[in-house]
Amino acid sequence: MSFRLYLLLVLVPLTAAGNLIAGKFALRSFSPSQANALRYLLALVVLLPMLRRWPRPTRKELAMLAATGLLGICVYNLLFFEAMRLIPLSEAALLEMTIPAASLALARGILRERISLRQVVGVVVSFAGALWLLRILPPGASAVKTDADWRGEALMLLSVACFAVYSIISKLAMQRLPPPAVATWSCLWGTVPLLLLSVPSFLASRATLGEASLESWLGVLYGSLIGFVFNIIAWYYCFREAGVAKTNTFLYLVPIFGALLAMMIFGERLTGWQVFGAGVTFGGVLLATLERKPVPPLEDAAVVK
């Protein structure tokens, strides 16, 4: 592969991680529903004209795309953004590492897909690592946690479960439709409930848009144009040029980059045991998901964020 392609493979997870930082800034002026409604509405302005390039979805596919929009764009982001208001962004980002393992476990439970013993061990190891990330282990670590910590972590785990279900449905939709088409239709279906939730609050406080800080607007713009639109196009290009397995491997860096950026920008700190838990989780994810042979395209956190 060329140096340019390797650079893009690193840039995709880095810009996706930057999306987490942008979301934190957006929350300084907007609520979770307002911030996400604005960024996905702007993304639609860019993406909708591209729909003509891709096959039209069938009725069955439209139903699946509506589900991916509701889960992956609306519910997941509302839960994640609310969690960011309660717990450190670095912790929230690292908890996202459990998404591939959760998706694999759900694929076994819902789709009855066969998974190997190695993958089962990887899922178990990944979830075990989360116990240290959540400060449940070692014994006594949870004593310093506040009610806000528990609520934020519960919301984060719900968002992981939500995205895992989204991943299963989007995998089915991608059997015929290309990933950018699935992401665009998901964006369309997910933006509708976000607007229904946010428009009343904008009307009740019409000064919100005008009084929002510059950093919050930049967070919305980044999350829309770079974190979502650019990532869709760049991820699909890497998928075609480098292959699914290699691209997915690089995308596992998103939570790590996100945690590092949060620590550098917001001065957040993780305990030594949380760092240990992150390492265990990452090892479990690699064990569960890396394949020796090319596999059909599977979901990734960078596709919808």
- The tens digit of pLDDT for each residue in 249-301 reads 788 899 999 999 999 999 999 999 999 999 999 999 989 887 655 444 444 44
For 32, which DSSP code?
H
Question: In Å, how far are 85, 90, 180, 275 from 133, measured between CA atoms?
Answer: 18, 10, 33, 7
Q: Which residues of the chain have pLDDT under 50?
A: 294-304
Per-residue pLDDT, 298:
42
Per-residue pLDDT, 107:
82
Per-residue pLDDT, 277:
96
Q: What is the pLDDT of residues 208-236, one digit of tens each?
A: 999 999 999 999 999 999 999 999 999 98
Per-residue pLDDT, 292:
56
Q: H-type helices in 178-266, by residue range? A: 179-204, 207-211, 214-221, 231-242, 244-251, 253-266
Distance CA 261, CA 182 (A): 29
Q: Could you write out the DSSP letters of every residue in 186-210?
A: HHHHHHHHHHHHHHHHHHHTTHHHH
Residue 32 burial (C-beta neighbours within 10 Å; 0-12, 13-18, 19+): buried
Given a contact cutoff of 8 angstroms between Cβ atoms, the answer to whether 250 and 70 are in contact is no
Return the C-alpha torsion angle 187, 188, 190, 191, nearest 10.
100
Question: Which pairs from 269-272 meet CB under 8 Å and 24+ separation?
Answer: 269/90, 270/88, 270/90, 270/91, 270/94, 271/135, 271/141
Distance CA 265, CA 175 (A): 40
pTM of the full predicted structure? 0.91
Per-residue pLDDT, 110:
76
Distance CA 53, CA 45 (A): 16
Q: Scan for tokens 């895992």, then name that residue.
A: 164
| Helix/strand/coil percent split, the chain, to 5 | 80, 0, 20
Per-residue pLDDT, 166:
94
Per-residue pLDDT, 19:
95
Nearest to 170 by CA among 111, 114, 227, 229: 111
Per-residue pLDDT, 247:
83
